[in-house]
Structure formats: C-alpha cells, structure tokens
Amino acid sequence: MTSVLQGLKFGMLLQLAIGPISLLIFKIAGNRGFAQAMSGTAAVVLVDSLFILLAILGIASFVGRDKTRRLFNYIGAVIVALFGAATILEIFGIHIIPGSGVFNSSGGTGSFVEAFVLTAANPLTILFWAGVFTVRITEGKLSGAEVYLFGLGCALSTLVALTAVAVFGTLSGTFLPDGVIDLLNFIIGAVLIAFAIRMILSEKKKSNVKVNGKS
C-alpha cells in the first residue's frame, strides 16, 4: 500500500497543473452533466493506465548496467524537465511540444471518445511517464511489484482528480480565473524542473563517489 500511496501523492501533484484534459472534463460536466464527464474521465484513466504500463515494461527491460542506468536516468530527468518547462511556457502561449496546447473540441462525438482521442493523441503523456519511471527505477526507489503499485497509484490520482473536476464543473458551470490556472501551472512546472535538476545532481554525485572510491 505504501507504493500505491506514493504514486497517488505524486500523481495528485501532477494533476494540479490544469491542462487540456482537465479543461475538457470541466467543459463536459458544465455542458452535459456529471455522468458524461465521468465517461470522459474513464477514457482518460484507461489511456493513462495503458501508457503507464507500457512505460514500466519498456524501462524494466532496458535498465541494467551502471552505464545504461546513468543514461536512462539523465534521459528521464530531461523529459521531466521538458514537461515542467512546457507547463510554464504555455502560460505565455508558447507550445514547445506538439499536442500540448489547449484542446479545441470538434463536437459531435461522445464524451468517452473525445477524452480518449485527446489523451492518446498527446505524445507528451507516454514520454513523461517513461521519464518518471526511469528515474524511480534507476534510483532504486522502486523494484518488482512496487513499480506496478506505484503506477496504480498514479492512475488512481487521475481518477480522483478528474472526478473532483467533474463535480466542480457540474456545480459551478464556469471556469476558474485565468490567473489562478496560470499560477498553479507555474508552481507545478517549477517543481518538476527542480525535481529533474535534483535527479541530475544526484546522479553526478553517485558518479563522483565511485570515481573517488576507485582512485
């Protein structure tokens, strides 16, 4: 249960960055009601769970020797930092990653299909989860079943967060002020960049310790 809770807490931190998926679920709730919003939420959770599983399976099969671990650790940190930078830059209307802009609904499709397509079409999602799990595995914080339990917690965070968005959207029917959204996005972006920097510094420290130990 500890790994599940860790994944849930980590995932909830990410959910604070209000993006196109949250805006879509909020809009569906306000326009079509809670049931339709939850249909969209189910689609998002399904895609997130699939991406998380693929990320775990892909990383687990590659990580091994020290050189490989260091490479993946650096790659993971860069991906997480890129996600954080994209979150901050989007405040100023700058989109450095294709598909990360605000979703424009085409209409005429079911809530489940809309949410599924938007989530699956964003190439950032699987890249980000790959970065997260690379860092967690190579740091030795997760192993074996713990990796999957952490992933389960992350998926549950999507369900919890979007359910809250659906409830809020149904009750209020209006969006949060742009200033509040921008502030939340900036904070989460900064936290993710700091997380990535810490991972890089930690890896360099490990390398220096090994070098000094051999000398």
Q: What is the pTM of this model?
A: 0.63
8 A C-beta contact, residue 87 and residue 188: yes
Name the phi and psi angles at 104, rounded to 5: -110, 110
**Percent helix, strand and coil across the chain, each to the nearest 5:** 80, 0, 20
Predicted local distance difference test score (pLDDT) of residue 134: 74
Q: What is the mean pLDDT of the chain?
A: 76
Predicted local distance difference test score (pLDDT) of residue 151: 86
Residues near 59 by Cβ (< 8 Å), separated by ≥ 6? 72, 130, 133, 134, 137
pLDDT tens string 93-104 = 887 765 444 334
Residue 3 or residue 160, greater confidence: 160
> Is pLDDT above 60 for 167?
yes
Most confident of 91-95, 119-123, 150-154: 150-154
Task: Name which of 166, 212, 176 is nearest 17 in CA terms.
Answer: 176
8 A C-beta contact, residue 44 and residue 162: yes
C-alpha pair distances (Å), 100 with each of 18, 19, 115, 125, 212: 12, 8, 14, 9, 43
> Is pLDDT above 60 for 195?
yes
Q: How far is Cα 10 from Cα 152, in angstroms, rounded to an integer?
A: 11
C-alpha pair distances (Å), 57 with each of 16, 30, 114, 203, 213: 27, 38, 27, 23, 33
Structure tokens at 36: 């339709």
Residue 77 or residue 47, greater confidence: 47
pLDDT tens string 6-17 = 888 877 877 766
Q: How far is Cα 164 from Cα 26, in angstroms, rounded to an integer?
A: 10
Predicted local distance difference test score (pLDDT) of residue 17: 65
Q: What CATH number was assigned to the domain covering residues 2-206?
A: 1.20.1250
> Is pLDDT above 90 for 42?
yes
CB atoms < 10 A from the CB of 180, how many? 11
Read off the amino acid at residue 144. G
